Amino acid sequence: MDPGSFVGIISGMSLIVAAIFLGGDIHNFINIPGVMIVFGGTIAATLLTFQLADVISAFKAAGIVFSHRIEDANDMIETMLEISVISRKQGIVALSKLEIDSAFLKKACNLIADGSKENMIRDTLMIEIESMKQRHYIIQDVFRKMALYAPAFGMMGTLIGLIQMLSKLNDPESVGPSMAVALITTFYGTILANMIFSPIAGKLKARTLTEVINLEIIFEGAISILENNNPMLVYEKLSSYIPNKLRRPMQNKMLNR
């Protein structure tokens, strides 16, 4: 799991649980009908808003984001430099024979090896990048909408609880417990929105921005290889995507190739 995500989840939930224990009995915060209203209502509204396939993809993506770290941009630059050296030494045809895990990078190498024109490569790779942005936006939007729905259904549960409480005003002893149950759904909605759904949406957005940078590094690197730039020029061009303090210096062995 990503260290930041792990620390955030553990610390946030620990503080909330600790505050509950310090202030009273945790059983006061457990209400099955409230969970049904908030969580069930949020899921139902989300399924009405999005296609089932998009909702499933969103939850799968959330699991991947929190369990896998994305490739560092410096590593991607080194990969493009190595490919640049291979193309200068063995010719661009050799790029089609490289074993590459990244589908985007493989497509870029194949386009170069096939002798595609620069405009063709630019258009094809840019379409890939824009398509990825759109797919990721839908996944992010699933959690953004859930962050809006959860508090709304929490308020709905509170209204239901208040109606039930007002119907029992002839029994003063039941007013206090009934009010507590009425408010618990708002608590559930707030927790889901601010501790789960909104942070996940933010994490997905941040990951998308990082992935876009890596894809743009591949894109610009492919154009540089097509123009037969030397590794030093490729490095200077691609390193512009990374802040000065985070840039990894070009290895001497790369310069000597």
- pLDDT tens digits, residue range 182-228? 788 999 999 999 989 999 999 899 889 989 999 999 999 888 888 76
Report the domain count for the chain: 2
pTM for this model (two decimals): 0.83
Q: Is 228 left (phi over 0), alpha (psi -120 to 50) or beta?
A: left
What Å distances lie between residue 72 and 45, 48, 104, 247, CA to CA? Answer: 37, 37, 16, 11
pLDDT in tens, 22-39: 876 777 788 888 889 999
107 & 5 share domain: no
239 & 133 share domain: yes
d(CA 193, CA 188): 9
How does the average pLDDT of the chain come out, rounded? 85
Alpha-carbon Rg for the chain in angstroms:
26
105 & 124 share domain: yes
131's CB contacts (< 8 A; 6+ apart) are none
Distance separating the N- and C-terminal Cα atoms of the chain:
38
39 & 18 share domain: no
pLDDT at 162: 85
12 & 139 share domain: no
175 & 92 share domain: yes
63 & 183 share domain: yes
86 & 3 share domain: no
124 & 212 share domain: yes
23 & 103 share domain: no
For residue 147, give the H/E element and its range: helix 118-166
109 & 41 share domain: yes
88 & 3 share domain: no
Per run of 10 residues, the mean pLDDT along the chain (length 257 residues) is 73 81 76 89 95 93 76 88 86 85 89 86 91 93 96 91 80 72 88 92 90 91 81 87 86 55
Range of the domain at 113: 31-255
